[in-house]
Structure 1
Amino acid sequence: MNNAYFSFPMPQNEPVRDYAPNSADAKNLKAAIADLKAQVRDIPMYIGGEEVRTDNKVSIHPPHETAHLLGHFSMGDETHINKAIEAALKARDQWAATSWEHRASIFLKAADLLANKYRFKMNAATMLGQSKNAYQAEIDSACELIDFLRFNVHFLSQIYAQQPISAPGVNNRMEYRALEGFVLAITPFNFTAIGGNLPTAPAMCGNVIVWKPANTQVYSASVFMEILKEAGLPDGVINLVYAGGPTIGDICFKHKDFAGVHFTGSTGVFNTMWKTIGENAPHYKSYPRIVGETGGKDFVYAHPSADADAVAANLLRGAFEYQGQKCSAASRAYLPSNIAEAVKTKLLAEMKTLKMGPVDDFTNFVNAVIDEKSFDKLANYIDGVKNSSDAEIIAGGSYDKSKGYFIEPTVIEAKKADYVTMCEELFGPVLTIYVYDEQEWDSILDTVDRTSGYALTGSIFAKDRQVIEYLTKRLVNAAGNFYINDKPTGAVVGQQPFGGARASGTNDKAGSALNLYRWLSARTIKETFVPVTNYRYPFHQEG
């Protein structure tokens, strides 16, 4: 019997633990790292209620310690993708019909499990598999993922409470149905929280999911599946499969029951997906929902009134935290000539204090980039600067993959505002700065706005309030997440819903109700208590 309205109030953001030296948290996290490193894990796919293993094993090595073997995962093929779709569709009707308070309780329990029992294991898995330091792992794989689970429950309860008005003699109501089919979640390597949110947000709405994580995030994704299973998620609601992107796309995008895709990845891949879905539109039961967050070439613009120390400190954090492998990372900076030397002096001095190395040493600020492909790409850009007359390296510029994929934090000064590293997404610890004439602080804004096709995040630094207002309006379409006197990274669930437009995606704002609406199909119901028995209206009557 369900005869009550259930309340899921606004939660508090999960407190971030600091892992100070010799603290209990630091000791527990180091123990969890040591425990995982002592294992060679055999990671299965999860299809329906089964753990599925294959003979096609892919080894997992920490990017910062490539000689160490963490385990293997089983690579799937077409048969496994089809089985995952079948398992999802089999679970759909019962899951969609499950009372909201019971669906919500599963994800709230998962959040509590992650906040306590699994916190150190999840952080350790992210640190080892994705080469994050302790703080970056904590804010991602613990706090942000916990926040996604708890806040999405709250936001969805608010959506369900939104009902139309009713006239006398009529009752109007709105149902928010799950989509008719399955949702494909394709998740990236760089955030464990995104890996968890992309399948769970639509699942919370009653949808069933086929989840394909990046191969470089399988290690932590498998831990999250353990949490979901322990929290009571029914078999088949989320099916975790490992397969090549083209293979899974070819099967899912041709399936008549394909209902939507929740994606984070490259703009090129997203464009191809959109085209393929459009070509297959006549074959689908319903028009699929296409939700994507893609790339970024995120800017920092300093006005002549900006504080040089603040600009330098935020460039350090914005560009080099997690090796610049955030979609929101500060990648290009525009410095006015009056403070440029002060900013560069401060920036370069502080960079000398940045320690780089494996995640086990908690004093390291910078770790390794994700894989050899990324390493080689970044090394090529750095070598290009060394051979160019249009830019120069003013800090860093070294790289070494003998033990791990280490790219030294690097600052490039471009002599032209359209130099390649000012325009193209690098996704690594490489920051390019351009010094402009302080008198041209207004005209350079056209360059800031138009240099990149992306519009994900951006920062402005200024002290003058009128200038701040002007810049905010002038750059209105340049970034979906816009920061004033702060770095362009670090969006918090419930505080700064995340997403950008232009080539950066559909701007559906993960961490807000806007995203959840995309996974719902509304049905309006009108009930008339006493129906008419005569078709005639009063104006038909004779006087």
Structure 2
Amino acid sequence: MTGSVRVPTPSNEPVRDYAPGSAEVVRLRAEIDRVAGQVRELPHVINGERFFAGQQEAVVSPHEHARVLGHITPAGDKQVRAAIDASLAARRDWSMTPWWERAAIFLRAADLVTGKYRDELLATTMLGQSKTYHQAEIDAACELADFFRYNAYSAAAIYDQQPASDPGQWNIMDHRGLEGFVLAITPFNFTAIAGNLPSTPALMGNTVVWKPSEKSALSSDVVMRVFEEAGLPPGVINLVHGDGQSIASQALASEHLAGVSFTGSTAVFRNLWKTTAQHLDTYRAYPRLVGETGGKNAIIAHPSADPEALLVALVRGAFEYQGQKCSAASRAYIPRSVWRRLEDRLADTVANLHIGDVTEHETFVGAVIDETSCTRLEQAFTEAKSLDSHRLLAGGSVRRETGWFVDPTVFVTDDPTAFTMSQEFFGPLLTVHVYDDADWSSILTLADTTSPYALTCSVFATERTAISEALTVLRDTAGMTYVNDKPTGALMGKQSFGGGRASGTNDKTGSPLALQRWVSGRYIKENMNPDLDWNYPYMGTAGH
């Protein structure tokens, strides 16, 4: 190939409405019925081959937990070792593949996501992860495709960065992939993240061992087939199902570990970091650690806030996808003057949110991902109800009979440092602290210091001085700050997601910053006119 290669300028994939009775719904409902009517075997994919090993574990639908959708077989040491070996064997050829050919594969994957595989990705995400039509669409179709397209575009910009050269020299930056393999550990809550975490390092010339959540195994299997059909060579991304701790322990013990790309809990990421540190003396190079690890995201309202906009942000921000977003609103600080106009409407709205089967159009809240999550939230409700400082405004119950359903729940507390204001629960639980209007400035400081996380936050105000003050005081409080908007819904190419403190390494998923982490630079200097005399002018005899 000759000439300069330019990646097409990306744009965000349009979000489909899935209005009742529409042609797109008819097609999707048929796919949902097809997926629900079978039990899929979900294999490991290692060096392009499919394997089953060990005892089967069922993959079920959270909102209908008696329905088995598929089976996985947890990987043993043999499968993990094979995945590592396959990654290492594929590394040289893949890293030497021209970047535009690697980019072409993921651009092709984007079109497969939005075309041939769109309905299957949505159906498996809805059934396997209990997402509504809208939540599945913005995740498994739109954001996943956006990741592939915007990452390819950003990669082109990185490879285009070359150093200046003086006359008689040519300086080149060789943007190499890392030496070794990358371990990608992905969560259940976003099919897009499951596809992005292994594909980002792969795009930049790395090979990957991918451990998806067993709770999203159904949609992850489709993502893997998308990669393969798009032309990804065998061994570049190797998928292994199973226990995260066991797989990570073996991968982190390998001298060839080049990096870890992780989204999940803070506790797990810290353990990965500590384990990596224990092996530093054995690694061939220092591994890159990239993590996004949750949040305790606040909505902070000023007395000038618009109650209508605030109500929408609280409901959508806290309860879309059952609050199982790292960015979900889980604490709110509302001035007394606004709360008087908002309290009854918030209580009534939350109490009447439809909970149930996500394939029903009226459903706003599906099921939480599993029984463990259901129990954790039930325990939090019980503890909060026992405190004199807390008043239950809405919800507070769970139901396990047919699915793992947790009522959207709102507590009001007069203790702004309570456990409900500082701990992450990863579910539909929102706690409101009502403050005196005059305490706005001190509330900003309180919001900044109460929680160890720093992922997202929202500021609601119409007075510009209040917005300016909030952005100043809360500068380190979040990696993504929203003004007069809910703290969820970052859009690729417009807002790049990530946070600091206990929320992760803030590498801004989907941006050039995130891609840069998977590159190891090599400068090459070529001298076109090398010196032929080792003497320097200063070595001449003075006065002669």
Query: Secondary structure of 2:27's partner?
Result: helix
Q: Given residue 300 of structure 2, which amino acid in structure 1 is its aligned partner? A: Y
Alpha-carbon contact 1:297-1:424 (below 8 Å) kept? yes
1:281 and 2:280 correspond: yes
The equivalent residue for 2:185 is 186
Alpha-carbon contact 2:132-2:321 (below 8 Å) kept? yes
What is the CA–CA distance in structure 1 between the aligned matches of 2:449 and 2:399, rounded to whole Å?
Answer: 34
Displacement of 1:343 after TM fit? 1.8
The equivalent residue for 2:12 is 13
Q: Given residue 116 of structure 2, which amino acid in structure 1 is its aligned partner? A: K
How do 1:238-253 residues align onto structure 2 when only pairs under 5 Å count? 238-253=237-252
The equivalent residue for 1:222 is 221
Alpha-carbon contact 1:48-1:237 (below 8 Å) kept? yes
Query: Secondary structure of 2:151's partner?
Result: helix
What is the CA–CA distance in structure 1 between the aligned matches of 2:441 and 2:203, rounded to whole Å?
Answer: 46
Question: Alpha-carbon deviations, 1:373-394, whole Å to 9, x = none?
Answer: 0000000111112222110111
Alpha-carbon contact 2:351-2:408 (below 8 Å) kept? no
Alpha-carbon contact 1:313-1:347 (below 8 Å) kept? no
The equivalent residue for 1:114 is 113
How do 1:382-421 residues align onto structure 2 when only pairs under 5 Å count? 382-421=381-420
The equivalent residue for 1:260 is 259
What is the CA–CA distance in structure 1 between the aligned matches of 2:398 and 2:250, rounded to whole Å?
Answer: 40
Displacement of 1:357 after TM fit? 0.3
The equivalent residue for 2:98 is 99
The equivalent residue for 2:464 is 465
The equivalent residue for 2:21 is 22
How do 1:56-455 residues align onto structure 2 when only pairs under 5 Å count? 56-455=55-454
Q: Given residue 339 of structure 1, which amino acid in structure 2 is its aligned partner? A: V
Q: Given residue 296 of structure 1, which amino acid in structure 2 is its aligned partner? A: G
Displacement of 1:243 after TM fit? 2.2
Structure 1, unmatched stretches of 5+, are none
What is the CA–CA distance in structure 1 between the aligned matches of 2:8 and 2:37, rounded to whole Å?
Answer: 42
What is the CA–CA distance in structure 2 between the aligned matches of 1:18 and 1:484, rounded to whole Å?
Answer: 26
Displacement of 1:70 after TM fit? 0.9
Question: Alpha-carbon deviations, 1:89-143, whole Å to 9, x = none?
Answer: 1111111111122111111111101101000100010001100001000000110
Query: Secondary structure of 1:51's partner?
Result: strand
Displacement of 1:3 after TM fit? 2.8
The equivalent residue for 1:500 is 499
What is the CA–CA distance in structure 2 between the aligned matches of 1:228 and 1:96, rounded to whole Å?
Answer: 17
What is the CA–CA distance in structure 2 between the aligned matches of 1:307 and 1:283, rounded to whole Å?
Answer: 57
What is the CA–CA distance in structure 2 between the aligned matches of 1:9 and 1:41, rounded to whole Å?
Answer: 36
Q: What is the total number of aligned residue pairs between the two structures?
A: 542
Q: TM-score, normalised by structure 2?
A: 0.98
Displacement of 1:449 after TM fit? 0.2
Question: Alpha-carbon deviations, 1:186-211, whole Å to 9, x = none?
Answer: 00011110000000000000100000
Q: Given residue 444 of structure 2, which amino acid in structure 1 is its aligned partner? A: L
What is the CA–CA distance in structure 1 between the aligned matches of 2:215 and 2:276, rounded to whole Å?
Answer: 26
Displacement of 1:10 after TM fit? 2.5
Query: Secondary structure of 2:68's partner?
Result: coil
Q: Which deviates more from structure 2 when the two are superposed, residues 58-67 or residues 3-12? A: 3-12
Displacement of 1:21 after TM fit? 1.1
Q: Which deviates more from structure 2 when the two are superposed, residues 83-92 or residues 272-281? A: 272-281
Alpha-carbon contact 2:184-2:211 (below 8 Å) kept? yes
Displacement of 1:444 after TM fit? 1.4
Question: Alpha-carbon deviations, 1:395-446, whole Å to 9, x = none?
Answer: 1112100100000111000121011111100110110000011111111111
Q: TM-score, normalised by structure 1?
A: 0.99
The equivalent residue for 2:33 is 34
The equivalent residue for 2:528 is 529
Q: Given residue 155 of structure 2, which amino acid in structure 1 is its aligned partner? A: L
Displacement of 1:360 after TM fit? 1.7
Structure 2, unmatched stretches of 5+, are none
Query: Secondary structure of 2:12's partner?
Result: coil
Q: Given residue 110 of structure 1, which amino acid in structure 2 is its aligned partner? A: A
Q: Given residue 473 of structure 1, which amino acid in structure 2 is its aligned partner? A: T
What is the CA–CA distance in structure 1 between the aligned matches of 2:27 and 2:99, rounded to whole Å?
Answer: 36
Alpha-carbon contact 1:182-1:210 (below 8 Å) kept? yes
Taking only aligned residues, the RMSD between alpha carbons, in angstroms, comes to 0.9
Displacement of 1:481 after TM fit? 0.5
What's the % identity of the aligned pairs? Answer: 49
What is the CA–CA distance in structure 2 between the aligned matches of 1:83 and 1:295, rounded to whole Å?
Answer: 31
Q: Which deviates more from structure 2 when the two are superposed, residues 247-256 or residues 152-161? A: 247-256
Query: Secondary structure of 1:69's partner?
Result: strand
Query: Secondary structure of 1:431's partner?
Result: strand
Displacement of 1:232 after TM fit? 1.0
Alpha-carbon contact 1:312-1:344 (below 8 Å) kept? no
What is the CA–CA distance in structure 2 between the aligned matches of 1:5 and 1:470, rounded to whole Å?
Answer: 47
What is the CA–CA distance in structure 2 between the aligned matches of 1:399 and 1:38, rounded to whole Å?
Answer: 28
What is the CA–CA distance in structure 2 between the aligned matches of 1:237 and 1:530, rounded to whole Å?
Answer: 41
Displacement of 1:347 after TM fit? 1.2
Alpha-carbon contact 2:208-2:238 (below 8 Å) kept? yes
What is the CA–CA distance in structure 2 between the aligned matches of 1:175 and 1:5, rounded to whole Å?
Answer: 17
What is the CA–CA distance in structure 1 between the aligned matches of 2:196 and 2:344, rounded to whole Å?
Answer: 40
Displacement of 1:67 after TM fit? 1.1
Q: Which deviates more from structure 2 when the two are superposed, residues 339-348 or residues 509-518? A: 339-348
Q: Which deviates more from structure 2 when the two are superposed, residues 348-357 or residues 156-165? A: 348-357
Q: Given residue 129 of structure 1, which amino acid in structure 2 is its aligned partner? A: G
Alpha-carbon contact 1:56-1:76 (below 8 Å) kept? no
Alpha-carbon contact 1:368-1:405 (below 8 Å) kept? yes
Displacement of 1:352 after TM fit? 3.6
What is the CA–CA distance in structure 2 between the aligned matches of 1:178 and 1:478, rounded to whole Å?
Answer: 33
What is the CA–CA distance in structure 2 between the aligned matches of 1:54 and 1:525, rounded to whole Å?
Answer: 46
What is the CA–CA distance in structure 2 between the aligned matches of 1:449 and 1:276, rounded to whole Å?
Answer: 30
Alpha-carbon contact 2:73-2:242 (below 8 Å) kept? no
Which portions of structure 1, spanning 4 or more consecutive aligned residues, are displaced by more than 4 angstroms? none
What is the CA–CA distance in structure 2 between the aligned matches of 1:349 and 1:450, rounded to whole Å?
Answer: 31
Alpha-carbon contact 2:183-2:260 (below 8 Å) kept? yes
Q: Given residue 411 of structure 1, which amino acid in structure 2 is its aligned partner? A: V
Query: Secondary structure of 2:378's partner?
Result: helix
